[in-house]
Structure 1
């Protein structure tokens, strides 16, 4: 990768370019940043050390300039694509944002095995991104082996079919000069037709053996034999190593002359470990040189192993570093305009409604009630915008596209969803690829730290597919992208749709995701407060992502018993955004048993409390909006660094008034099992532990033990009645 990096950083890049560097090129990136004055020499010996340089480039954790975190194969490579779209979106809505340069990915050929690569390449929006450049390091080795069949023609055709410009740098200028001589065409054919393993093995022999290996199976007196015997062994050995990815002049010329109306991929052939004793060896992954080999390398480079970080002396190299340091210098990112997200929109919620429907209404209301916030919200979806209730928002805000498109259904009076695409829209529609969705959401949620402008991305997808999107979304959160992901509809509550669309483990996934707050509000008012609270935490220094698990089941808002008095209503709001509240009007000290519910199953919890009342049992009812925050409150008990949510658990389950607990959630029951440790209560956790199937809602709840009778029965069992 060294020549590729040198061609870019020391000749081609500008301060507006952003580059994703393949994970194993981390040391190259840090070395270049040091030469450009962006990394103190004290950090150079600290790779993989506590407080030092990360093993893979990390935008959040490395001390020098890293544009994109990489390390999760394929995902870091695609991030510049989503950053390019995020920048275009931002520029179309905030014209004062500076123009961007190129969005570059340096990736390994083995990364092309990842599905995330091809999901990104195939998305229709991507074919218009002329600022995107991918450089594929074609060293033909993976972690364990020499790749047996690179199939470059197939890869080239796949990119070309997706509308990309495809350039292949296979040979450098030294070996190309041999191709022009008599027998040169035979030499090219021999090199290009030999298996990768045979080529890599040839790199491991002495110069005197190269000609013999080239002629294996060939006529000893033909044009190829005449050519290879006419070239000095050392020159011939250098020629077969002379690949396009190591030819600095060729690289510079290629990068300087690219299409600007479509993305470009450059396949740059290289030798892994070029110039080292481990060159081309199939097990050279993480191989270390001996001290003797290191000293030989230092001598070849004109340096000293005993003083490896000595600065460059006066001369052209040092002068070039200074010139490029100034050319690549960036202004520090400063906080953008202050955005006040309201805590409450002030609407009354009187009719039964699902949280999925309430989401659509809330976004639509934002356009009227908080237009400055709505202007920063951007929704995105993988072809499920209408079925996740974004229709009203889209009708008001439009669909964003890199180019304006004619709406051929504008005169159709029977159409409910107005799908007008243009540069002013605030919804981005992607193809059916959840990986693309969360990759884009992460980059939309990073614009505040890249270009001083805050966006609030809200990505909707079906909750069963949260697991499919989890790795790229988690990696985006790790890299500093703040977004709101809405999984809807969720759980076996979506009973008629069958097991394929019934999520089971997603509540636990949300609770366990760092850098994120997981929410599962039951009622429309709870959702409004929680979502506004989450929006206020996105796109700001120290902010956090959010995951909302919503439902299609309408619930009666009267069951939440929201106080009408302003002071008490505000108290309830604070409880909701802290993680939960007591629905029961009697004090916790009177609880003989406490029923704790989350989300869509609250009607069953309340019905079970009534059944118990009929049996003479006083049951308290607690509604959790965020088991995640309640667990944090549990963890903070007795901690010296307790945060703002440290007291909510004591409010919900007062330590002085223990009682048996029944927890109920449309998800895996272990999600709430920690509540037993709050007071040492006996507990029965109800939930879903197997895949669902098509049925009515009542049958589904009865099958999984979530109906009112099962909840009441569990409480009576705990009480020994």
Structure 2
């Protein structure tokens, strides 16, 4: 049964996203061949997991794992989609626990070598979950963290449209997400569904595997009706594939209406229990006292009765074919495909089957039933047969041409301006972007900024006024003639700023996909996402996963720390500096001065959109700072030396003849460090002051010196030479352990100052004094090091 939500009739597919490659009604002959492939996909996906757990040597005895039941529930959906409906321009995000099904399909299509089938979850082999960057076969989206795979195609669709508007490349095609029904418990899913930008994405198709189980249990209640209403309310087309042909036919018989009602109203757990029953038990449990239903059940032979309770639409290739052919490409679509977890396996429907593994005997019985050979598990279809021919035709149909790789634009390293007066590092971000439009217009053309409704409060207003806001269609700016309007919101396809709703996970999801356009379509972008620094932790998991998936982007957190004093503790970030230190694939900077922002931002942009590139995180502040304190050298060579040190992680801001201590400060705390140095000098206690711009790069340099990783280490010799090794005070507006490792460079005594507790509102002086970051505290800490 394919049910289209009332009030939302289907419409013909658009030219940019036609429906299926083959939209003819699935014939008996075609269906028979497709069922043969379906059986082989079930066998291969099960055997891949079986080999990893039961066949491959495992000296440690550590559980390997895999998800035979979760894979089995998706076999029919993926067989129908790949072998009937996908086109080369389409992209699919596969639910994490169905990765073996993806590998099985790729193997049958000739895009995965047989030698990889025995490597699931082994070192260098098939990954536990689909990975764009680590798996040897085609994977469109990395998935793994539940809920993130579902939303990735949303942001992939926007990224593709943006590239198409800007460059004419990017092609077309649907963006599919195959997700488990339990994934709809994730808040990130609904943040994406409700974002205003999503309602117009007609290429977006979600297929929900409604197997009514989570990891530990059968999901209580019947939630699909509520979920249908929620998607429909967000403007999505809602299709439901609930029953297969056998049940649909039984519903037309006397007693069929009662059978329909009985199954529809049955709690999930009761239905799952029926799957574990013999035919005799079913005859007792199913009628539930109804005479017409009892007569219908009595008329059915055992085989038909057992098949009927398993005959859900998500395993009926004809029903799935009809549903995929009914997709309306003018708005997003969600397909609820009812399935059985473990369908076709001895474990089907059991509430604890999530990680259950078939025994060797069960695998042999399965092979016999599916027409496979357990002694030669990877045997392909015989040449000349209908199944082999369909695999060949599908492989040819889905063959993609490699995109033409365009080099990222050349970026300047220094735009030659020396900021003066008083400025904040937050304001320097917008200023640098505007300067880039003049100094390197081609590079600026590749920059795309994203924010969750905080453009004006994070000083992107000037940039937004300059480049406009991206929208698939031009919209009227009704305040264009209002003389009091400062931020001009000009929405058009040529805009270079994308504004989302207030949801940080959406921001970084889009940021990650904008950061993959160089590898997907050969068109490198320079994406910069800006959000309040306290919310970096909220956005961290999806951004980190985007980096893992190959997305290269810049995340800017601003304002940061307890320096945002009057805003209070809820808006004062503490742990983000150490997050930047620890995040793989990312270089973190916390500039102290406007010139540091320019240099680190340009260096970060230069690492985007290329093989071997990487992401960056900039932590900026709203504290106004006298820019003369930066003491930028006037000599060109000395200026370049300073720039290189800023980008490498640190520079000496003040040197004395015979230092008795060193203060290493970062970001907003540099003025206090310099003030403390002045007072200590007056006391006859000279100190050096080092400005740290990137703890992470310094830590890499230290590990490189120890021979533990490949990284340049010259910055340690220039900024922390052994000849100037003295007792060390570190200070930052964040957790003090971020800089604590600096003392190990030379093994000197050290005190680490920072923020270890929640903040509160107050003046800057009061808040700094409360956390022991004021000048008095720094002076006392240095004297205590003697």
Q: Which bin holds the TM-score, normalised by the shorter protein?
A: over 0.9
Q: Alignment partner for residue 514 of structure 2, among 434, 444, 449? A: 444
Q: Alignment partner for residue 697 of structure 1, among 744, 764, 768? A: 764
Residue 369 of structure 2 corresponds to which residue in structure 1?
300
Q: Alignment partner for residue 190 of structure 1, among 262, 270, 273? A: 262
Deviations, residues 163-201 of structure 1 (Å, cap 9, x unaligned)? 000001110111000001111110000011111111000
Contact 1:434 1:461 (C-alpha < 8 Å) held by counterparts: yes
Alpha-carbon shift at residue 713 of structure 1 (Å): 0.7
Residue 299 of structure 2 corresponds to which residue in structure 1?
230
Structure 2 residue runs of 5 or longer lacking an equivalent are 1-73
Deviations, residues 440-471 of structure 1 (Å, cap 9, x unaligned)? 00000000010000011110000000110011
Residue 352 of structure 1 corresponds to which residue in structure 2?
422
Deviations, residues 14-44 of structure 1 (Å, cap 9, x unaligned)? 1111000001101000000011111000000
Q: Alignment partner for residue 608 of structure 1, among 661, 676, 682? A: 676
Greater shift, 647-656 or 411-420, is seen at 647-656
Residue 478 of structure 1 corresponds to which residue in structure 2?
548
Residue 244 (str. 1) matches residue 316 (str. 2): no
Alpha-carbon shift at residue 334 of structure 1 (Å): 4.3
Residue 203 of structure 1 corresponds to which residue in structure 2?
275
Contact 1:211 1:233 (C-alpha < 8 Å) held by counterparts: no
Contact 1:462 1:490 (C-alpha < 8 Å) held by counterparts: yes
Contact 1:125 1:402 (C-alpha < 8 Å) held by counterparts: no
* SS of alignment partner, residue 199 of structure 2: helix
Deviations, residues 581-621 of structure 1 (Å, cap 9, x unaligned)? 0011446xx22100000001111000000010011011000
Residue 113 of structure 2 corresponds to which residue in structure 1?
40
Alpha-carbon shift at residue 683 of structure 1 (Å): 0.3
Residue 57 of structure 1 corresponds to which residue in structure 2?
130
Residue 281 of structure 1 corresponds to which residue in structure 2?
350
Deviations, residues 518-571 of structure 1 (Å, cap 9, x unaligned)? 100000001100000000001111111100100001112211111111111111
Residue 553 (str. 1) matches residue 620 (str. 2): no
Residue 242 of structure 2 corresponds to which residue in structure 1?
170
RMSD: 1.0
Alpha-carbon shift at residue 150 of structure 1 (Å): 3.3
- Superposed structure 1 runs of 4+ greater than 4 Å apart: none
Deviations, residues 371-420 of structure 1 (Å, cap 9, x unaligned)? 11111111011111100110000000001112221111011011110011
Residue 94 (str. 1) matches residue 167 (str. 2): yes
Alpha-carbon shift at residue 98 of structure 1 (Å): 4.1
Alpha-carbon shift at residue 650 of structure 1 (Å): 2.2
| Distance in 1 of aligned mates of 2:520 and 2:180 | 25
Q: Alignment partner for residue 198 of structure 2, among 119, 126, 129? A: 126
Q: Alignment partner for residue 261 of structure 1, among 327, 330, 334? A: 330
Contact 1:210 1:233 (C-alpha < 8 Å) held by counterparts: no
Greater shift, 251-260 or 104-113, is seen at 251-260
| Distance in 2 of aligned mates of 1:618 and 1:426 | 50
Contact 2:94 2:179 (C-alpha < 8 Å) held by counterparts: yes
Deviations, residues 128-178 of structure 1 (Å, cap 9, x unaligned)? 000000000000000000001131111000000100000011101110000
Residue 135 of structure 1 corresponds to which residue in structure 2?
207
Q: Alignment partner for residue 565 of structure 1, among 635, 647, 651? A: 635
Alpha-carbon shift at residue 481 of structure 1 (Å): 0.7
Structure 1 residue runs of 5 or longer lacking an equivalent are none
| Distance in 2 of aligned mates of 1:420 and 1:186 | 58
| Distance in 1 of aligned mates of 2:665 and 2:319 | 65
Residue 324 of structure 1 corresponds to which residue in structure 2?
394
Contact 2:232 2:238 (C-alpha < 8 Å) held by counterparts: yes
* SS of alignment partner, residue 664 of structure 2: strand
* SS of alignment partner, residue 476 of structure 2: coil
Residue 538 of structure 2 corresponds to which residue in structure 1?
468
Q: Alignment partner for residue 531 of structure 1, among 560, 585, 601? A: 601
Structure 1 residues 474, 658: closer, same or farther in 2, change over 3 A? Answer: same
Residue 431 (str. 1) matches residue 504 (str. 2): no
Residue 494 of structure 1 corresponds to which residue in structure 2?
564
| Distance in 2 of aligned mates of 1:541 and 1:225 | 66
